[in-house]
Every structure is written in C-alpha cells, then in structure tokens.
Amino acid sequence: MSPQGETSRQALVRMYHVSKSYLPGAYALRDVNLSIGKGELIFLTGPSGAGKTTLLRLLFAAEKPSEGSIIIGGRNIARLSDSAVPTLRRRIGVVFQDFKLLQRRTVEENVGLALAVRGEPPRQVRSRAFRMLKQVGLQHRRHHAPVSLSGGEQQRVAIARALVGEPELLLADEPTGNLDPELTLEIMDLIAAAAARGTTVVVATHDHSLVERYARRVLHLQAGELAEAGP
C-alpha cells in the first residue's frame, strides 16, 4: 500500500488513505494515496466535481480530511491546530481561477500582503513586491487598482503574490479557467518557470491541451478516486 507515484526525488507531499466527505455517506475524495516530489510540476485533472478543489483545499488546510494523513515537509497537517495554519500557509502559495485580489489595495500592496502578514517591514515588503512584479512584467502597473487590469494581468498579480514569499509549494486551482488561450500560455509559462526554479507545483485543470503541452506527471481524479495517468 505504498503511495502512488513514488518518485526517486525526496517527497514534499504525501497523502495516505485520505478521504473527505462533506456530507455523511458522500465522498468528495476517497482513499487517496499520493506522493509529490520536491520541485515537481504536477497536473491534477478530472471532470467538474471530481474532487480537485477539495484535494488542493486539504493541502493548504482550508479543510481537514475525514480520514488519513497528509504529510507536508515531514509534518502531518491532517490534525493541524487552527493556530498552526498560518505558519503552514506561509510556505504555500495559492492561485485561483477568480484571482482573489483585494480591490481596495494597489497591485503592489496585494503582492506585498503575503509578506506583510509575516511582519516584514514595509520598506522590505515594497522592494520585494516590486522585484516580484518585475518578474511577471507588471512593475509599471504597481500603483494601479486591480480592477483596472485585464484578467491575464490580474492573474499575473495573483501569481506574484503567491510566489513573493518563496513558497516550497505552489497550488493553482484552474488558474487559466477565466483566460483566453494565449493568456493561458503566458500564465502557465510563469507557473512552469516557478517549478523550474525548484518550487513544487500542483495545477488543477480540466484543460487537456495544457497537460499535453507541458507533458508532466498527471494525477487523474474521477468521482473522488485517484488514478495516475502519467505524462
């Protein structure tokens, strides 16, 4: 019963017999076993309702599993106390389909938020946010409000926010679901670049063209059950 997809690399994430049911008797995830190596780029696929979002939410401790253990960096987060959740999240960047940017803050403040919550001094927050925005090509927009940006630009801001704290793990839930095909590639290239620099990346998507283009390891979910699909 060893977790599926054991790789030669050191694992950053392992799941053992993880199940999640929101309602009694109905499983969103069922007996999921997996291992994700450090620096891997993994696609999580499956039809709508298969449990992709649930799996990601378990990883950043937005939900607790009903059964099983989830080991991230050697620590079981299945029974994490509420007060330990922020510390875990500072090691994980998360990107969503709907960007989740604060409309009342500037682009730079949104990116800096991930550092500000750790208590970094404002000057350092600003300079790191600026450098990160430069990496995603949006430094000239740093004083704008997110609404004044296009969807692709907003997602680049969200990625900058997710990466500015140099997380070990980047989780992206349908990050290109709201974007045109060419913007999709732009965003995916940014995400793949993070993996190339050593960040472990999990991308949930039902877009098979992405999977084919990047030809990486694929975890396929079907009605809450996991099957490895390979590149």
Partner 1 sequence: MTSLWRALYFVRTAIDGLRSNPVTSAVAVGTIATTLVVMGVFGLALKQMSGIVDRVGQDLTVSAYLAHRLDDEAVRELATRVSTVEGVASVEVVTRDEALRRFEGAAGDRAGLLDGLVENPLPASLEIALASEERTEAGIARLVEAIEGLPGIDEIGHGQEWVDTYGRVLDGLRGVAAALGLVFALAALLIVSNTIRLAVYARRDEIEILALVGASRGFIGTPFLLEGVLQGTAGSLLALAVLWAGFELVTALLGATLAFLIGHGDPVFFDAPEIFAFVLAGAGLGCVGSLSAVGSAWRAA
The residue ranges that bind Mg ion (CB under 5 A) are 53
For Mg ion, give the closer residue by CB, 149 or 204. Answer: 204
Q: Which residues pair with 221 in a beta bridge?
A: 226
Chain positions 19 to 58 lying near ligand ADP, rule: CB under 6 A, are 22-23, 28, 46, 48-54
d(CA 137, CA 196): 18
Residue 118, interface with partner 1 (CB under 8 A)?
yes
Q: Are 226 and 33 in contact (CB under 8 A)?
A: yes
Half-sphere exposure of 175 (CA within 13 A, CB side): 34
Q: How far is the CB of 207 from partner 1 (least distance, A)?
A: 23
Among 47, 117, 222, 230, binds partner 1 (CB under 8 A): 117
For ligand ADP, give the closer residue by CB, 51 or 165. Answer: 51
Q: Are 35 and 14 in contact (CB under 8 A)?
A: yes
| H and E: helices and strands count for the chain | 7, 10
Residue 60, interface with partner 1 (CB under 8 A)?
yes
Residue with tokens 């839930």: 173
Residue 215, interface with partner 1 (CB under 8 A)?
no
When CB distances are held under 5 to 8 angstroms depending on the partner's kind, the choice from partner 1, ligand ADP, Mg ion, none that residue 94 binds is partner 1
When CB distances are held under 5 to 8 angstroms depending on the partner's kind, the choice from partner 1, ligand ADP, Mg ion, none that residue 97 binds is none
When CB distances are held under 5 to 8 angstroms depending on the partner's kind, the choice from partner 1, Mg ion, ligand ADP, none that residue 143 binds is none
- What pairing do the DSSP bridges indicate for beta strands 200-204 and 169-173? parallel
Chain positions 139 to 158 lying near ligand ADP, rule: CB under 6 A, are none
Among 4, 22, 102, 229, binds partner 1 (CB under 8 A): 102
d(CA 165, CA 179): 25
Residue 192, interface with ligand ADP (CB under 6 A)?
no
Distances (CA, A) of 82 to 85, 91, 148, 160: 5, 16, 36, 26
